[in-house]
């Protein structure tokens, strides 16, 4: 337990200075090592609510939205990249999809590396076609 503490990125402006990672780690430790059969995530909820105001109260929230916020903020708190480089995509037409996908993902990984990315990320291919010129635009989103 506590391995996550070595990975906390205190300086990431997109994260929470490690506060969410510590709150989540504390919740997991309490669930696995606690002596009480009931565990409440008060610290995790309070910490998340300090960053995302819609989670401050006790109103009903969408569970998928909650999960996305928690995972995104955990990723940023645990992001191993401390200085994110500026990356410009190549604009070479007629390349194979695999080459484009590999470039998108390599560029993503140059700015994002965490246990969350290691375990839960992949790519989604999407194509948008301009209604006027009919040119398709291909993207590969993490």
Which sequence spans correspond to the domains of the chain? 3-77, 97-141
Compute the mean pLDDT over every residue in the chain, rounded to the nearest whole number: 90
- Rounded-to-10 torsion of CA 9, 14, 17, 19: -110
Percentage of the chain with pLDDT > 90? 63
104-141 burial, b at 16+ Cβ within 10 Å, e below that, comes to: beebbeeebbbbbbeeeeeeeeeeeeeeeeeeeeeebe
Cβ atoms of residues 69 and 54 within 8 Å: no
Please name which of 73, 76, 85 lies closest in space to residue 7, comparing C-alpha atoms.
76
Distance from chain centroid for Cα 43 = 20
> pLDDT tens, 60-90?
778 899 999 999 999 999 999 998 999 887 7
Give per-residue pLDDT as tens, 8-35.
999 999 999 999 999 999 999 999 987 8
Between the alpha carbon of residue 123 and those of residues 82, 90, 109, 128, 140, the distances in Å are 23, 18, 12, 16, 6
Answer yes or no: is pLDDT of 123 > 70: yes
């Amino acid at each position: 337990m506590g391995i996550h503490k070595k990975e906390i990125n205190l300086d990431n402006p997109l994260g929470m200075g490690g506060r969410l990672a510590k709150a989540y780690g504390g919740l997991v430790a309490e669930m696995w090592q606690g002596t009480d059969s009931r565990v409440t995530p008060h610290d995790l909820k309070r910490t998340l609510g300090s960053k995302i105001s819609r989670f401050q109260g006790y109103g009903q929230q969408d569970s998928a939205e909650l999960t996305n916020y928690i995972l995104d903020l955990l990723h940023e708190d645990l992001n191993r990249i401390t200085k994110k480089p500026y990356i410009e995509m190549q604009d070479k037409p007629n390349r194979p999809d695999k080459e484009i996908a590999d470039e998108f993902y390599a560029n993503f990984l140059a700015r994002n590396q965490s246990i969350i990315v290691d375990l839960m990320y992949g790519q989604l291919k999407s194509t948008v076609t301009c209604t006027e010129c009919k040119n398709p635009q291909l993207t590969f989103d993490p």
